[in-house]
Amino acid sequence: MRPGARARTYAVTGGVGFIGYHVTRALLERGDRVVVLDDFSDAPYPRAMKERNRADLASGFRGVDVRAGCVTDRAAVREALAGADAVLHLAGLAGVRPSFADPCAYMRVNVEGTANVLEAALEVGVRRVLFASSSSVYGDSTPLPAREDAPAILPASPYAASKRAAELVALAIARRAPDLACTGLRFFTVYGPRQRPEMAITLFARAIVEGRPITVFGDGSMRRDFTHVDDIARGVLLAVDREEPGYRAYNLGSGAPVTLAEMVRGLEAACARTAIRGHAPVPLGDVAATFADISKAGRELGWRPEIPLVTGLGTVVAWVRAGGGPGTAAG
């Protein structure tokens, strides 16, 4: 526990998902109590991975209470939030490409779900709420590196639109509740152990280790601001500890984007194997580059990323080699 601090109770939606698991674990490691609300659906990745994350949290810590429920269910949300000191709303439908197939579901979960969480928090007296947004809100029209005060008005996918809409709903609700400390975190290409299996770094790492070909979209020149999940979890904890009222948005990224080709070369080095490359057209909705201006998070939260890409890629390769994936205990 933090020196001189009492144990607090946090409600974490999506707490057995990828980022949610790491955030929940970080809270428990510092001595806090956590109530997790997760729907355990196969979206956006296999239920077996969420079940494994739940089992690993339960076996490692006593202060966790995991409940099944969706953020679109106001009663379930209200019950999970009752008695919490703060809420970390990390649940949602992720993925640019799948969002074109079912945009209504993305709006329902990401926008309505966020409104549900904020309204329930106000009803039960919680006055600190943090929620997960995305670098996708910037699209391809925002000047890079993207700043939080830059326009974000041309989303490239329904997923991006749902995250921007959730931000606007949160801002409107926060203006009605002047004592609410509401924080939106724009995550930039988060990777690490327990990542969704269809995401590029995990997908490529597994293929390279197993000697299978990988498919690189475009010519490999797309740039991504890859950010390790441990850095993200640390940023989430710093942000949720902010108690000043009002709405604020922060970028959490590496601030040092690399091309997909450079990322693949890093994975090859981490695997000590050469990738078998194939190429395919860039999918609809994928932006040319993500690049975070992280100066605001540095000034106001005291946060900066600490894990260089070469080190972070090594953690993914180690997790894959240890059998990381659905139904496994690796990582």
Instruction: Read off the CATH number of the domain in which 21 is found.
Output: 3.40.50.720
What pLDDT, on the 0 to 100 scale, is given for residue 42? 87
Q: Which residue type is seen at 122?
A: L
Give the model confidence (pLDDT) of 95-135 as tens digits.
Answer: 999 999 999 999 999 999 999 999 999 999 999 999 999 99
In a domain, 160, yes or no: yes
152 in any annotated domain: yes
258-259 and 223-224 as β-strands: parallel, antiparallel, unpaired?
antiparallel
Among 54-68, 253-267, 285-299, 314-328, where is mean pLDDT lowest? 314-328
- Given this model, what pLDDT does residue 323 score? 85
> Is residue 212 in some structural domain?
no
- Report if pTM > 0.85: yes
Report yes or no on 76 lying in a domain.
yes
The answer to whether the CB of 271 falls within 8 A of the CB of 234 is no
**Number of domains present in the structure of the chain:** 1
Instruction: Give the tens place of pLDDT for each residue, 203-216.
Output: 999 999 999 999 99
- The rounded distance, in Å, linking the Cα atoms of 287 and 154 is 11
**Whole-number Å distance between alpha carbons of 198 and 205:** 11
Q: What rounded mean pLDDT belongs to the chain?
A: 94
Tell me which residue of 184, 163, 203, 206 sits closest to 250, measured CA to CA.
184
Residue 330 lies in a domain: no
Burial class (CB in 10 A: 0-12, 13-18, 19+), 60: exposed
One-character DSSP codes across 3-16: TTPPP-EEEEETTT
pLDDT at 327: 43
To the query of whether residue 10 is one of the catalytic residues in this protein, the response is no
Mean pLDDT of 287-303: 97
Element (H, E) at 183: strand 181-187
Q: Helix axis angle, 18-29 relative to 47-60, nearest 10°?
A: 0
Q: Does residue 72 lie in a domain region? A: yes
pLDDT of 223 > 80? The answer is yes
Q: What is the pLDDT of residue 46?
A: 87
Rounded alpha-carbon distances, angstroms, from residue 200 to 90, 217, 220, 273? 21, 10, 12, 17
> Among the options 21, 45, 106, 159, which is catalytic?
159
What number is the average pLDDT over the span 156-164?
Answer: 97
* 1 has a pLDDT exceeding 80: no
Higher pLDDT, 196 or 45: 196
Report whether pLDDT(5) > 70. Answer: no
Q: Would you say residue 125 lies in a domain? A: yes
**Contact criterion met (CB below 8 Å) for 143 and 293:** no
| Banded pLDDT at 331 (limits 50, 70, 90) | very low
Inter-CA distances, 73 with 35, 70, 97, 188, 214, Å: 16, 6, 26, 28, 40
- Summarize the confidence of residues 223-240 as an average pLDDT: 97
pLDDT band at 325 (very low <50, low <70, confident <90, very high): low
Give the range of the structural domain holding residue 126, as residue numbers without chain letter: 9-190+228-254+292-306
In this prediction, residue 313 has a pLDDT band, given cuts at 50, 70 and 90, of very high
Q: Is 92 part of a structural domain of the chain?
A: yes
Is the pLDDT at 330 greater than 50? The verdict is: no
Closest CA to 329 of 49, 27, 68: 49
Dist. CA 146–CA 188, nearest whole Å: 11
Residue 11, pLDDT > 90, answer yes
The residues pairing with 276 across neighbouring beta strands, listed in sequence order, are 213
